[in-house]
Amino acid sequence: MNYRKLRNIEVSSIGYGCMGFSHGYGEIPSEEEAIRLMRLAYDKGCTFFDTAEVYGDGHNERLVGKAIEPFREHIILASKLFIDSEAVGDSFESLEAHIRAHLDASLEKLRTDYLDIYYQHRVNDDIPVEDVARVMGKLIVEGKIRGWGQSQPIAEQIRRAHEITPLTAVQSEYSMMERQFEQDVIPTCKELNIGFVPFSPLASGFLSGKYSNEDQYQGDDVRRVITRFNKENVNKNQPLIDLIQKYADEQQATPAQISLAWMLYKEPFIVPIPGMRKENRVDENLGAADVKLTDEAYLALEHELSKIQIYGNRTDKDIAKLQDME
């Protein structure tokens, strides 16, 4: 495994997105299997584990806490909180109390007394990012967190917060199918020495090339509402899968590994966190760290990607629809 830095925190170049062990992709593995897979990933060199208080309504933090407890001091642990503007009110004191209460609850579930990175899970326009940054700065001084970050911010929000308390990382969706943050967010992170942590780096698995227009999704599965998985869009996006497969064949790799290697090539501060709910996925995704694109191959791939139109996307608004579906 290779290692990178999110500002001043060293992590494995491929992290572990743990959400899928609790919800989001249909039937979940057993607790025993989830713990086994996370510990297997650690044995293979993965030192970066990501969760959030809302994943499974606390289930994911409890599960991750149990899995990483034997080696907690040797890994980087990140979690996220939603800040409820109605619950916070208008005062800085109430915001601070709100964040502290959420952090304490997460620490208890995660069986630890500190987090390495604590993200604001979506930036709330009703609450000044400067105030959130001030609270995070206090928590860093106290040792309750080592660093902090934002999820899905725009560049202006990053800059405003960073002036108060420097951010460690920004976590946002990024993949070959979702590249909007290349315009200004990733360049801003580069300028300010902030790590960039892509979630859904394989476009919810689409880039693995394992899906067809015949696949059916049931229950708590976000692919029911992510439009790139619509039957029509699956067909329209086939040229992308064909292109990735071509490079995978040339590199003796898998499409998922090429998708991750493409991302790792771009910047040394980019650290994707794919989900891995099966042992072969752990081997495959962590193995992407060893797939090296040459300059020539990368530039050729970028040129081909620029000619491909992407159909469908993944939005918070669409995912919210899942709550109302049977």
213-269 residue pLDDT tens: 777 777 777 888 888 888 898 999 999 999 999 999 999 999 999 999 999 999 999
Coil vs helix vs strand at 221: strand
- 106, 80 contact by CB (below 8 A): no
Distance CA 281, CA 299 (A): 27
Instruction: Tell me whether residue 125 is exposed, middle or buried, using C-beta atoms within 10 angstroms of its C-beta: 0 to 12, 13 to 18, 19 or more.
Output: exposed
Name the residue ranges covered by the structural domains of the chain: 3-209+254-291
Considering only residues 93 and 88, tell me which one the structure prediction assigns the higher pLDDT. 93
Tokens in use for 52?
Answer: 């959030």
* Alpha-carbon distances of 170 from 97, 186, 192, rounded to whole Å: 23, 9, 11
Give me the percent of the chain exceeding a pLDDT of 70: 99
Nearest to 122, CA basis, from 147, 100, 153, 145: 153
List phi, psi (to 5°) of 11.
Answer: -140, 160
Instruction: Note the pLDDT tens digit of each residue in 113-166.
Output: 999 999 999 998 889 999 999 999 999 999 999 999 999 999 999 999 999 999
Instruction: Note the pLDDT tens digit of each residue in 18-76.
Output: 999 998 888 899 999 999 999 999 999 999 999 999 999 999 999 999 999 999 999 99
Distance CA 153, CA 157 (A): 6
- 257, 287 contact by CB (below 8 A): yes
- 270 forms beta bridges with 196
Which CATH superfamily hosts domain 3-209+254-291?
NADP-dependent oxidoreductase domain (3.20.20.100)
Over residues 96-119, the mean pLDDT reads 97
> Roughly what angle, to the nearest 10 degrees, separates helices 31-43 and 279-287?
30
Average pLDDT of the chain to the nearest whole number:
94
The one catalytic residue in 55, 211, 247, 265 is 55
Distance CA 228, CA 230 (A): 6
Instruction: Tell me whether residue 156 is exposed, middle or buried, using C-beta atoms within 10 angstroms of its C-beta: 0 to 12, 13 to 18, 19 or more.
Output: exposed
- 197, 76 contact by CB (below 8 A): no
- 127, 88 contact by CB (below 8 A): yes
Per DSSP bridges, beta strands 9-12 and 16-17 are unpaired
Distance CA 17, CA 41 (A): 11
Q: What residue spans of the chain are helical by DSSP H?
A: 31-43, 59-68, 85-88, 92-110, 129-142, 155-164, 185-192, 231-236, 238-251, 255-266, 279-287, 295-305, 316-320
Q: Reply yes or no on whether 42 is catalytic.
A: no
Instruction: Note the pLDDT tens digit of each residue in 277-321.
Output: 999 999 999 999 999 999 999 999 999 999 999 998 887 787 777
Distance CA 14, CA 46 (A): 7
Distance CA 200, CA 23 (A): 14
Distance CA 314, CA 260 (A): 18
Instruction: Note the pLDDT tens digit of each residue in 165-215.
Output: 999 999 999 999 999 999 999 999 999 999 999 999 999 889 998 877 777
Q: Write down the pLDDT at residue 326.
A: 58
Largest CA-CA distance found in the chain, in angstroms, rounded = 58
Edge-to-edge strands of the sheet including 169-173? Answer: 16-17, 48-50, 76-81, 115-120, 145-151, 169-173, 195-199
Checking phi first, is residue 122 left (phi over 0); if not, alpha (psi -120 to 50) or beta? left
